[in-house]
Structure 1
Amino acid sequence: MKISDFQTKDVINITDGKRLGQISDLELDLKQGRIEAIVVPGYSRFMGLFGGGTDLIIPWRNIVKIGSDVILVKMDEMKENNYDERDREARLYDEQNSRMDRVERIERLDRSQRRTI
């Protein structure tokens, strides 16, 4: 099978039925002549070009079946990764809001100081 044949197949997680995307790359063990893992771009990327999504690296041992149209994988830890991503996004949101609060306080202080002068 050619690498280009791999890249046209959808990767499906059989644990939750979620479509993970298509393979963008392979990790190879050149000494052993084996595929170590498949790489699927993170969900926040657009066509693998834009965005800073992290790639999902799926070890070869997690591949259950390679069919004519799909590759079935078993990824139990996907729930943990999704939680980590939501947690990171929540922290970024909180940081952004606290920055906005600080800017508003500084602007109010600046306005009040101008009135007193």
Structure 2
Amino acid sequence: MRLCEFSKKEVINVSDCKCLGCVCDLKFDECSGQICAMIIKGPPKWFHLVGCDTEYVIDWKKIVRIGPDVILVDICAEKCLRKL
């Protein structure tokens, strides 16, 4: 699967059923070359007029299922949210 295919999928948190957004980047382990996390842009500020200043960094092990149009994750959103 390519990054462009991941970026078209919405990420849903199964613990609170909220849409977190779409995948914007993947983080790789330098030694093994395996994917270790996916990065999702946080919610936009000011009525969707200005870009976001946060992002979610979700560990690859927290993925529950990758479907044809969504990725289900089980996370505590506050712990995965990172300020830019």
Q: State TM-score, norm by structure 2.
A: 0.81
Separation of aligned partners in 1, 2:45 and 2:70: 21
> Would you tell me which structure has more strand in proportion to its own residues?
2
Q: Alignment RMSD, CA only?
A: 1.9
1:67 paired with 2:70, answer: no
- Cα gap change, 1:45 to 1:3, in 2 (>3 Å): farther
SS at match of 1:24: strand
Ranges in structure 2 where 5+ consecutive residues have no aligned partner: 80-84
Ranges in structure 1 where 5+ consecutive residues have no aligned partner: 83-117
Q: State TM-score, norm by structure 1.
A: 0.59
> Would you tell me which structure has more helix in proportion to its own residues?
1
Separation of aligned partners in 2, 1:18 and 1:52: 17
What is the aligned residue count?
A: 76
Larger-Rg structure: 1
Which structure exhibits the higher relative contact order, with contacts defined as CA atoms closer than 8 Å and separated by 6 or more residues? Answer: 2
Runs of 4+ in structure 1 displaced over 3 angstroms? none
Separation of aligned partners in 1, 2:16 and 2:52: 24
Query: How many percent identity over aligned positions?
Result: 39
Structure-1 residue corresponding to 2:82: none
Structure-1 residue corresponding to 2:53: 53
Matched residue type, 2:73? V
